[in-house]
A = this chain, B = another copy of it.
Amino acid sequence: MDGMTISVAVSGASGYAGGEVLRLLAHHPNTTIGAITAHSNAGQRLGALQPHLHALADRVLVDTTVENLAGHDVVFLALPHGASAEIAAQLPADTLVIDAGADHRLESSAAWEKFYGSAHAGTWPYGLPELPGQREKLRGAKRIAVPGCYPTSAQLALVPGFAAGLLEPHDVVIVSASGTSGAGKSAKTHLLGSEVMGGMSPYGVGGAHRHTPEMEQGFSNAAGEPVSVSFTPTLAPMSRGILTTATARVRPGVGAAALRAAWEQAYADEPFVRLLPAGQWPHTKHVVASNHATLQLAFDEHAGRVIVACAIDNLTKGTAGGAVQSMNIALGLPETAGLGIEGVAP
């Protein structure tokens, strides 16, 4: 299917996720960008809203409607949760719809209702091909739920250990630092540069963050038993990037070699996940604008725990890059088409 040209519509194009989808598609060898849609910004030039997208600067945004989105081979939805489910339901069944929002990520309706307070819109194939057996489920799929940015990093960090039966299902602790783009582009006082530069703060503490059940879902599926997670997100003074520090109790008798082997094996053939050479730790800066996730782990024998650090770009591997990767798999394109692994540094 290489060489074909696919028409793609992108909704939510004035936001950060939509902008990153467009940035990646602008370099994708197999796609042409069709409708670019927005809500309140419809009618504006893209150059006024995403001034870094020079090649697309003169494209004019149209309304996010079913009419404007239908008729493309692929539709990316980068919309607030709730909105995407509503639109997706009206798009043709043979259109590949890729939802960067949360609506179709959770398998458990109860978890959805508890964390989102609304009726569950149903579950779609989950766009994290690095999960065990997941790549197969994405081939030929017509609906894909893009994982949350934190859950992407957390699952890449710990799933190999759960899948290999090396970790206890309780006292899993995950602390992540995210760049501010993860909080979106809506103007809010606490996200002003003056407020965020030079400081760090936590939010959504105590099990309140909506990405918690998504992490537990991934861990539980891998472990074959329910896993509970304590997750704390923090806001870091940088635009892009997530550094996740994930730590779990190691089962009795498991040592450093077995741990390293499990992660090595899990990612040996993955094009976008890399266990770094021993001694080198991930840095979010090294994956900026790249679809790469980098990992390192250490076994703390004294505390009986493994600590895994994972760095991703929240907008790329954490959102738009993961979405394009899943699109490639679904359409039978080379998985890496249009996706670089080199980060932008320094």
Contact = CB atoms under 8 A, between A and B. Distances in A.
Nearest to A195: B346
A311 interface: yes
Which 3 A-B pairs have CB atoms at the shortest separation, nearest pair first?
A206-B298, A199-B285, A52-B343
Contacts of A287: 52
A305 interface: yes
Nearest to A292: B54
Given A54-B341, A206-B299, A230 B243 contact: no
Interface string A41-63: 00001011011111100000000
B201 A230 contact: no
A319 interface: no
A301 B199 CA distance: 29
A276 B45 CA distance: 13
Interface in A73-87: none
Q: How many copies does the complex hold?
A: 4
Nearest to A308: B205
B238 A198 contact: yes
Given A54-B290, A201-B311, A346 B16 contact: yes
A59 to B, nearest CB: 13
Interface string A172-205: 1101010111010111110111111111111101
A187 B185 contact: no
Interface of A: 16, 19, 23, 26-27, 45, 47-48, 50-55, 170-173, 175, 177, 179-181, 183, 185-189, 191-203, 205-208, 228-230, 232, 234, 236-241, 243, 245, 247, 249, 274, 276-277, 280-290, 292, 294, 296, 298-305, 307, 309, 311, 340-346
A150 to B, nearest CB: 14
Contacts of A280: 47-48, 51
A111 to B, nearest CB: 11
B236 A340 contact: no
Counting chain B CB atoms within 10 Å of each CB, the highest count among A183, A205, A287 belongs to A205
A193 B229 contact: no
Contacts of A309: 201-202, 205, 232
A203 B282 CA distance: 9
A197 B171 contact: no
